Structure 1
Amino acid sequence: MTIQRERPGVTVELIAKAKERVVPKSGVVLVPYQAEWGAPDELVKLGSYEERMAQTFGKADTVELAAEGGATVLAYRMTNGTAAKAAYEQANAVRIEALYPGLLGNELRVVIVASTSEPGKKELQVKGPLQTEKFSFADADELVAKTSQSLYVRVKKLGDAAIAVASEANLTGGTSGTAALSAADSSKLFMAVSGADFDAMYLPFDDASVQAAAKQFMSDRRKLGKKLSTLVIGGKAADDENMEKHVERSVAQNARYVVNCAIAGQHNNGNTYGSLQWAAWVAGMIAATPAHESLTAVVVPLKKALKDWGHTDILQALSSGTLVATRDGEVYIIESAVNTLAVLGAHEREDYGKIRVSMTLDQIVNDINAVGKKYKGKLGNNDLGGAVFVSAVNTYLTVREQQGAIETGWTFTDKKNGNGDRRGFLLSAKPLDAIEYFDIDWEVL
């Protein structure tokens, strides 16, 4: 009876998954970053502007770049473990401590005055980058409770002494956990995020050996963890005007799940970024763009490129699977939405070299796997159980065909080879590519 109640949920879940894939914010981009504010060495999902501001105060450029396309950001603040929180203390009364460790905590200011809203009480004012928070309190216990939702601080009761009125003062003692990234930091990062779910990952390392390790990490996630996603890399700032260096990175990767960013220059926001930082924007766009849409010819928020590539450079980029932005009139656009797959291996095809096709493949596998894991152990290993799952997946694929993600003529069948707790299914479907070249014959009459 329990299995009977669960079965309709499979179909509903897959339909929801399919419809969700045309909503830009359904995509998740993993952004490791360094900053002086934010939860240290912890994955935090940021789905809105307000959540990003609370987590980073808007001071982590790569987080903001990744969010521009509308994707949900899975942020991971990388530290060296030595960061300390700033604090203000009244002996035997309270300790007012910054919410997160880092130097920004030293910029927070506190003042304790008579309450302006509740006569007879005192008021803690915390002045920070976003706003001034005010908390009225009669005693330390009330202050601890009220500040539990503060964007800036947490309060600890130290003793029974009354909290005294105090003039404005900065929190002190905050130290930085930011240092130059090393290979050891990348190993720590990969271990921390290996089990997370995300559509695209931004890699904040320009070292070739770390990028090679990242490719292997993504490959292992795909094969062993059945978690399919796309890695986006960039290069050293000193090499950003050299197309040969960009091409070298692409050739070293040569994988449909790795995108190499060669975009560099001044963003419309006035800041200048190298390809390593622009890779965060690309990763966010990949995550945010539904798989049935192509990134080819998408306008890049680039005010002035570090270098306007010539025809020969562009051909080099395309042939090696390097993502470039080229000037088109008054704006810059993505020349062609390609990944680094240029030399085909076993079980690969030419269209796998397009981000759109690769993302469609990954999304479908991820969606079916996610629902399969949710309902495993709830369907009998017989023809009826197999038919229920086939029906659910067929419903899902019908929606993906209607969206324009896959071509007509797909099939999903039960192999009817159930044995013990294992059963096989066969998916046959062709992802749709995008028209990028229009060949027009003009017969002049």
Structure 2
Amino acid sequence: MTIQRERPGVTVELIAKAKERVVPKSGVVLVPYQAEWGAPDELVKLGSFEERIAQTFGKVDTVELAAEGGATILAYRMTNGTATKAAYEQADAIRVEALYPGLVGNELKVTITVSTSEPGKKELQVTGPLQTEKFSFADANELAAKTSQSNYVRVKKLGETAVTIVPETALTGAKSGTVALASADSTKLFMAVSGADFDAMYLPFDDSAVQAAAKQFMSDRRTQNKKLSTLVIGGKAADDENMAKHIERSVAQNARFVVNSAIAGQHNNGKVYGSLEWAAWVAGMIAATPAHESLTAVVVPLKKALKDWGHTDILSALGSGTLIATRDGDVYIIESAVNTLAVLGTHEREDYGKIRVSMTLDQIVNDISQVGKKYKGKLGNNDLGGAVFVSAVNAYMTVREQQGAIDTGWTFTDKKNGIGDRRGFLLSAKPLDAIEYFDIDWEVL
């Protein structure tokens, strides 16, 4: 029997994209961080625990916090550009250089000895934070080729002199590129990640001016780059017990695409984090949570809050759009999954103040836009071309309705107003919020 094959098209792409949205790991969270190891000033996607370990050795708390919900990490190590790599060298033979710049390189140790696995060869042993790697080699060329897979080093051949046996020796010469973050670093960060695709972004700055700039950056991405995502911020550790300070941050933002974390205290792992670090966990959860699920009442891995908020503080937080964790029996939960939108602007509604609704809006726009980019210039500007795109989006929206992300009764129609290379379409759909308040009338008989 002959296989009946169909040409892949936009409809298939959109259905696949819609189905991805109920898989937690489909979400991507951008986590800028500072450390003494990792690719400097470069975006690196980390989709698994093994990839995070290779990049950060698991020592960057904000990266690990963001990954707890299952989201894919888009990591960006911030440096001042002066970091250098540690190295060990044998003149006219080889140079063993740390994979990344930073002070961790000075902790790496190398040993060159007789190979125990391949008689007649020598062996390079590299001892690092995770394990000891061993590479047997006959000459410098073989060693350079094999260490291309090392998590710690790279070897370069310098000349024709034979590699000599040496006892354990530490790499030296590394310099740190880590300094206290300043506003100039945020500008560099925004420029570097402007074109990246991510669902949520963790901001590692507690300065109010930088947070205002970050809000503008995210707004510009939405309007100019057509890339919609959510910004998550936190505050200064010294202010974390002061609800007025948390509310002040929320009021300054007042945007559905900004979430303000007021969670602070001891994590279940035993470490104490302020609201700025907990913002990374919140950002990861936002990216990882499927659009048909709410973060309201999600258990927070908080062993002991820095402060257990009273009823007045809780109401003030909710009224200002401040995300808080409250004690519920033996655990802490997110009181309500709110963003900082509290004062409605033009074309905004009250339910836009919920993370679930806002994320659904962004996801639908992002998904249709991203898939549309693949097919722009390929459909004729006539009723047939318009009908193909309408059919594709209808298939996508049907899946989103089945997921429970949007209500029934949605429509996507072709305006049939094509002129030149432009054509208009109209999407009408209602994102579904979650039930948070149950009003029960009890008639006692």
Q: TM-score, normalised by structure 1?
A: 0.98
Q: State the partner residue of 1:444.
A: 444
Q: State the partner residue of 1:99.
A: 99
Q: State the partner residue of 2:392.
A: 392
Letter in 2 for 1:196: A
Q: State the partner residue of 1:331.
A: 331
Q: State the partner residue of 1:286.
A: 286
| Inter-partner Cα distance in structure 1 for 2:85 and 2:348 | 51
| Cα pair 1:31 1:73 within 8 Å, conserved | yes
Q: State the partner residue of 2:371.
A: 371
Q: State the partner residue of 2:53.
A: 53
Q: State the partner residue of 1:193.
A: 193
Deviations 1:272-305 (A, max 9, x none): 0000000000000000001110000000000000
Q: State the partner residue of 1:145.
A: 145
* 2:322 matches 1:322: yes
Change (3 A) 1:254 1:7: farther
Q: State the partner residue of 1:26.
A: 26
How big is the shift at 1:444? 1.6
Letter in 2 for 1:47: G
Matches within 5 A, 1:109-148: 109-148=109-148
Deviations 1:306-326 (A, max 9, x none): 000000000000000000000
Q: State the partner residue of 1:205.
A: 205
Letter in 1 for 2:295: L
Change (3 A) 1:150 1:326: same
Q: State the partner residue of 2:430.
A: 430
Moved over 6 A (4+): none
How big is the shift at 1:440? 1.1
| Inter-partner Cα distance in structure 2 for 1:181 and 1:408 | 48
| Inter-partner Cα distance in structure 1 for 2:303 and 2:92 | 56
| Inter-partner Cα distance in structure 2 for 1:438 and 1:30 | 36
| Inter-partner Cα distance in structure 2 for 1:145 and 1:422 | 53
How big is the shift at 1:245? 0.1
How big is the shift at 1:7? 7.1
| Inter-partner Cα distance in structure 1 for 2:82 and 2:138 | 36
| Inter-partner Cα distance in structure 1 for 2:260 and 2:378 | 42
| Inter-partner Cα distance in structure 2 for 1:158 and 1:311 | 69
Q: State the partner residue of 1:179.
A: 179
How big is the shift at 1:64? 0.2
| Inter-partner Cα distance in structure 2 for 1:257 and 1:402 | 25
Letter in 2 for 1:347: H
| Inter-partner Cα distance in structure 2 for 1:237 and 1:104 | 27
Gaps of 5+ in 1: none
| Inter-partner Cα distance in structure 1 for 2:294 and 2:211 | 25
CA root-mean-square deviation: 0.9
| Cα pair 1:111 1:167 within 8 Å, conserved | yes
| Cα pair 1:338 1:355 within 8 Å, conserved | yes
| Inter-partner Cα distance in structure 1 for 2:139 and 2:360 | 58
How big is the shift at 1:137? 0.3
| Cα pair 1:6 1:378 within 8 Å, conserved | no
Q: State the partner residue of 1:9.
A: 9
* 2:290 matches 1:264: no
| Inter-partner Cα distance in structure 2 for 1:177 and 1:184 | 15
Letter in 1 for 2:233: I
| Inter-partner Cα distance in structure 1 for 2:244 and 2:236 | 13
| Inter-partner Cα distance in structure 2 for 1:358 and 1:112 | 57
| Inter-partner Cα distance in structure 2 for 1:129 and 1:439 | 55
Deviations 1:187-236 (A, max 9, x none): 00000000000000000000000000000000000000000000000000
| Inter-partner Cα distance in structure 2 for 1:206 and 1:224 | 26
| Inter-partner Cα distance in structure 2 for 1:184 and 1:77 | 15
Letter in 2 for 1:78: M
Q: State the partner residue of 1:216.
A: 216
1:156 counterpart SS class? strand
Change (3 A) 1:76 1:44: same
Matches within 5 A, 1:404-423: 404-423=404-423
Q: State the partner residue of 1:276.
A: 276
| Inter-partner Cα distance in structure 1 for 2:313 and 2:327 | 13
Q: TM-score, normalised by structure 2?
A: 0.98
| Inter-partner Cα distance in structure 2 for 1:247 and 1:191 | 29
How big is the shift at 1:6? 9.4
Letter in 2 for 1:166: V
Equivalences, count: 441
Gaps of 5+ in 2: none
